[in-house]
Amino acid sequence: MSRRVAGALIALGGALMAVGPILDFVTVQSDLGVERESRTFNGFATRDGSYYVAAGIALALLALVVVALWSAIGRRILGSLGIVVAGFMTYGALQDLTSLSGLPRGVTGTAEIGLYAVLAGGVLALVGSVVALFTSQEVPASAPTRG
């Protein structure tokens, strides 16, 4: 795989991660009163929403540098940085997803498209960062061969 594939995966993951908190993130329903109440929140209602946006933008910028960078050592450094950032954000999205099952009795939570977008973006950026880490220096098609 090339650095372009790595950059595309990281950029797509970063974009999904940055857009996810703007979308519907979680719906909470309560059966505690006489009526059933339901509210939908975007990602900024959570403590992690702004972190997802910042990390998504940072990953998208990192993708541009990965594509433009010819140095294999530089791509490895940026790939390692991308793994750390995308790994933490994927972990945070998984924490947000699993915390919905720990709500008090009579309250239920349902993940919405925004949370799944952040999770998918984190996974894509993580895969792209691993590809960037292990992508070796590209060899031109007209390289001389020993013979």
pLDDT, tens digit, 9 for 90 and up, residues 75-120: 888 889 999 999 999 999 999 999 888 888 888 899 999 999 999 9
**CA quadruple 15, 95, 43, 36: dihedral positive or negative?**
positive
* Distance separating alpha carbons of residues 141 and 139, to the nearest angstrom: 6
This prediction has a pTM of 0.84
C-alpha to C-alpha distance for 137 and 75, rounded to whole angstroms: 9
What is residue 139's predicted lDDT score, i.e. its pLDDT? Answer: 52
pLDDT in tens, 32-59: 766 778 889 998 988 889 999 999 999 9
**What's the pLDDT score for residue 125?**
96
Q: Return phi, psi of residue 30, to 5°.
A: -125, 130
Q: What is the pLDDT of residue 60?
A: 94
Compute φ and ψ for 56, nearest 5 degrees.
Answer: -65, -45
